[in-house]
Structure 1
Amino acid sequence: MTALGFLYPGHSAEDDYPRIEQLLGSDVRLDLVHTDIGEDAPERLAKGVEQLRLAGAEAIVWACAGGSFVHGWEGAQEQVRALATTAGMPASATSFAFVHAVRELGSLRVAVGATYPEDVAGLFVDFLGAGGVEVTGVHSAGVVTAAEVGAWREAEILALARAADTPEAAAVLLPDTGLHTAAFLPALEKKLGKPVLTANQVTVWEALRLTNRRVNAPGLGTLFTREPIVQV
């Protein structure tokens, strides 16, 4: 059994995690601890670490893109290093998960469909650029609250992805762990005709990567079915 730990801000799309656990269909357990929204300082994140450690987690991921990339590449790295030191195990964050997943797929030109306001979406584009990922198109939905995003379903998510997509993009990224996407990944990829990477999906994949696990799970999209192109 591989136990993976996640620090998840607030309550929005946390039910994606038991769904993903079921879709993995293997000996993987996903343990989730909630943090307060906006509390992304290492000392605050550390409050949930002990609970995950006692649960037997082998790696921890801060399941939040915005609470990571807004600090820039170096700031996000410092955040993850502090988390790993506190946890005494490998650690990462959703923002880095996107970069690593894009590299693995070899899709270094992407489109971004962001629920965030334009300025925040721009910070994510900058973060991707620092990781060597080129953004060919970006669309901002301008949503501020996680509660609103958490109510979106397949139609709204597909519209966001389509609004961002460009012919040059090899993949479409949807960077918000507040979005429910685990149930819609195959449908989104079929309708767009290319890989779709979503926040909760890549967060779980990143935790598996940290523990050197690879699980074939077609229900979770291309990322969980492809052999690695680039080892990170």
Structure 2
Amino acid sequence: MTALGFLYPGHSAEDDYQRIEHLLGSDIRLDVVHTDIGEDAHRVDALLKMGSADRLAAGVEELRLTGAEAVVWACTSGSFVYGWEGAHDQVRALARAAGMPASSTSFAFVHAVRELELRKVAIGATYPADVAELFAEFLTAAGVEVVSFHGAGIVTAAEVGEWGEPELLTLAQESDTPDADALLLPDTALHTASHIASLEKRLTKPVLTANQVTVWEALRLTTRKVNAPSLGTLFTREPLVQA
């Protein structure tokens, strides 16, 4: 049994992790601990507080008791908002507090893009445009070419968590561009686990979603390799990259 730990802010799309655990169909357990979201707002000042070291550290002890072998901060905006260097500092602090390998969803996207050898990506974000632009800047700092980014202007994770397949499909179609090798959907508050394969079929390209890459990143940290086609192209390619 491989136990993977996730620090998830608040409550919105955490049931994606139950769904992914089922789809993995292996001896893998996904343990989710909820962190204090504070003010639910896709706004820079609120996101900085959400991803602060003390809030992340508060959930670490509970994860250790589950026997987790690695931990991922399951929040994209609460990591890339710190910038490339700041996000590294955040993950290092989390690893020290947890006493185990650590990462975040923002870095999960970077590693997944590299794993699939993607050159150009489009971003379909639920966030306001200024926050979506910060994610584009983060990817650019990682050497990823962002050909377009779209912000849907949703301020709260609670609202995003209420989205269903029609809203998800609309976001994907509005955000994709012909010159992008893949579409990235960065919000962990967005339910995507049941729709990745259908999105890829419709767009005819890889689709990377926040909760999908977060789980993949935890597997990467523990060097586990799992083939799960229903979770998209990312889960059909081997070997996993080693960072």
Whether TM exceeds 0.5 here: the answer is: yes
Which position in structure 2 is the counterpart of 1:44?
Answer: 55
**Candidates 175, 182, 192, aligned match of 2:186:** 175
Which position in structure 2 is the counterpart of 1:89?
Answer: 100
Which position in structure 2 is the counterpart of 1:218?
Answer: 229
**Does 37-46 or 68-77 show the bigger shift?**
37-46
1:156-171 equivalent positions in 2, closer than 5 A:
156-171=167-182
Separation in structure 1 between the aligned mates of residue 239 and residue 129 of structure 2, nearest angstrom:
33
List per-residue Cα deviations over 1:162-191 (Å, max 9, x = no partner). Answer: 111111111100000000000101101000
Residues 1:121 and 2:132 are matched in the alignment: yes
Give yes or no for contact 1:106–1:230 (8 Å, CA) kept in 2.
Answer: no
Q: CA deviation at 1:226?
A: 1.3
For the structure 1 residues 48 and 231, does the alpha-carbon distance in structure 2 shift closer, same or farther, using more than 3 Å as the test? closer
Which position in structure 1 is the counterpart of 2:34?
Answer: 34
Residues 1:59 and 2:70 are matched in the alignment: yes
Q: CA deviation at 1:137?
A: 1.2
Give yes or no for contact 2:150–2:175 (8 Å, CA) kept in 1.
Answer: yes
Q: CA deviation at 1:216?
A: 0.3
Q: CA deviation at 1:36?
A: 1.4
Which position in structure 2 is the counterpart of 1:149?
Answer: 160
The DSSP-based 3-state class of the residue aligned with 1:5 is: strand
Which position in structure 1 is the counterpart of 2:2?
Answer: 2
Question: TM-score normalised to the size of structure 1?
Answer: 0.98
Gaps of 5+ in 1: none
Which amino acid counterpart does residue 19 of structure 2 have in structure 1? R
Q: CA deviation at 1:219?
A: 1.0
**Candidates 196, 205, 210, aligned match of 1:185:** 196
For the structure 1 residues 124 and 20, does the alpha-carbon distance in structure 2 shift closer, same or farther, using more than 3 Å as the test? same
Which position in structure 1 is the counterpart of 2:91?
Answer: 80
Runs of 4+ in 1 over 2 A off after TM superposition: 227-232
The DSSP-based 3-state class of the residue aligned with 2:166 is: helix
List per-residue Cα deviations over 1:12-69 (Å, max 9, x = no partner). Answer: 0000001000000001000000011153111221111011011100000000000000
Give yes or no for contact 2:33–2:63 (8 Å, CA) kept in 1.
Answer: yes
Give yes or no for contact 2:225–2:240 (8 Å, CA) kept in 1.
Answer: no
CA-atom RMSD in angstroms: 1.1
Separation in structure 2 between the aligned mates of residue 230 and residue 202 of structure 1, nearest angstrom:
13
Give yes or no for contact 1:170–1:195 (8 Å, CA) kept in 2.
Answer: yes
Which position in structure 2 is the counterpart of 1:133?
Answer: 144
Q: CA deviation at 1:153?
A: 1.2
The DSSP-based 3-state class of the residue aligned with 2:78 is: helix
Question: TM-score normalised to the size of structure 2?
Answer: 0.93
The DSSP-based 3-state class of the residue aligned with 1:22 is: helix
Separation in structure 2 between the aligned mates of residue 179 and residue 96 of structure 1, nearest angstrom:
18
Size of the alignment, in residue pairs? 232
Q: CA deviation at 1:108?
A: 2.4
